[in-house]
Amino acid sequence: MTKIIKTVGVCGAGGTMGAGIALVAARAGFATVCFDRSGDTLEKAAKQSIGFLDKSVERGKLDATKRDGIVASMVRTTKLEGLADCDLVIEAVFEDLSIKRELLGQLDAVCAEDAIFASNTSTLSITEIASGSKRPERVVGMHFCLPAQLMKLIEMSPGILTSEEVFGAAWQWTETCGQTPVKTQDKPGFILNALLVPFNNDAIRAVEAGVAEPADIDRAIKVGLGYKMGPLELIDLIGLDTQVRLCEAFYPITLDPRAATPPLLRRMVAAGLLGRKSGRGFFAYEGNTMFGA
């Protein structure tokens, strides 16, 4: 029997990706538990999410009553025990295998035996992440695209031991949320990041080599290839420190030279130029709102 999902938990809900995933779940009518170990980070994400919803109302894309219902369905917690009643828990924590495996082990002790665990990893093996749980058959890959509250695509990846029932229930949930799932194999980077991490690094190296200014590189990509967002703008959105972690996770697995961290990227991160979240990356930003707000 397919698992009925009513309550969804998001680990790392204080981050850009986690906050967006929580909005997807709540907007689709699911009770949503937003977990992060930092209360301040959670509070900041909550304000950004409400701001995003308010803008949606102002633009006529969302009814005010619906907005109030979405906000009411989202609860925040800094205690892992707050996820105990969740039918589906999606982790969106740092792209670090040991951290993700440890989290799944902790969720084993908190959540019901029939709970589904999903990883939002963009580069790591679902099978290796699932090995941190005593029930790897209930772990599935569910990679949302950034910004999750705007993008529809979800890469769905079963691990070696993922049960068909769990994969089917997770797939059905994404469709209920109005998302578009695609099935990928448990391969490094799945579809998007296998192509995108090297491509984004190429754009960074073009800046470093003095080929053109960041704005001109992005404009060329958007006008010439029809992309809605340039690669450098995208890196600013996901965070330059996140791009470093993607490279560090992806390069050792693939040994693709294009996936290695560009020196300019490391220097910018060392200088605190992390993109939108720090106010400056390849471009400068004002305010502290969620993308799309």
Q: Which one from 56, 73, 120, 122 is the annotated catalytic residue?
A: 122
Pairing type for strands 153-158 and 139-144 reads antiparallel
Note the pLDDT tens digit of each residue in 21-73. Answer: 999 999 999 999 999 999 999 999 999 999 999 999 999 999 999 999 999 99
**What is the torsion angle, in degrees rounded to the nearest 10, for the CA atoms of residue 248, residue 254, residue 257 and residue 259?**
-40
Q: Stretch 227-233: mean pLDDT, rounded? A: 95
pLDDT for the residue numbered 291: 59
User: Is residue 2 predicted with pLDDT exceeding 80?
Assistant: no
User: Is residue 130 predicted with pLDDT exceeding 60?
Assistant: yes
pLDDT for the residue numbered 249: 85
User: Is residue 287 predicted with pLDDT exceeding 80?
Assistant: no
Residue whose C-alpha is closest to residue 170's, from 183, 152, 151: 183
Note the pLDDT tens digit of each residue in 162-182. Answer: 999 999 999 999 999 999 999
Active site residue 248: no
168 φ, ψ to 5°? Answer: -65, -40
Burial class (CB in 10 A: 0-12, 13-18, 19+), 120: buried
Please say whether the beta carbons of 62 and 88 come within 8 A: no
Residue whose C-alpha is closest to residue 234's, from 118, 141, 122: 122
Q: Which one from 193, 200, 201, 233 is the annotated catalytic residue?
A: 193
Average pLDDT of the chain to the nearest whole number = 94
pLDDT for the residue numbered 176: 96
Side-by-side strand order, sheet with 116-119:
74-77, 31-35, 7-11, 88-91, 116-119, 139-144, 153-158, 180-183
Note the pLDDT tens digit of each residue in 61-118. Answer: 999 999 999 999 999 999 999 999 999 999 999 888 999 999 999 999 999 999 999 9
pLDDT for the residue numbered 239: 93
Share of the chain above pLDDT 70, in %: 97
Indicate the pTM of the whole model.
0.87
Active site residue 131: no
Q: Which one from 56, 73, 91, 155 is the annotated catalytic residue?
A: 155
How many whole angstroms separate alpha carbon 264 and alpha carbon 49?
32
Binning pLDDT at 50, 70 and 90, where does residue 1 land? low
SS3 81: helix
Binning pLDDT at 50, 70 and 90, where does residue 222 land? very high
Q: Stretch 228-242: mean pLDDT, rounded? A: 94
Domains within the chain, CATH numbers bracketed: 7-183 (3.40.50.720), 193-278 (1.10.1040.10)
Active site residue 128: no
Active site residue 143: yes
Q: Which one from 49, 125, 143, 157 is the annotated catalytic residue?
A: 143
Binning pLDDT at 50, 70 and 90, where does residue 235 land? very high
User: Is residue 290 predicted with pLDDT exceeding 90?
Assistant: no
User: Is residue 282 predicted with pLDDT exceeding 60?
Assistant: yes
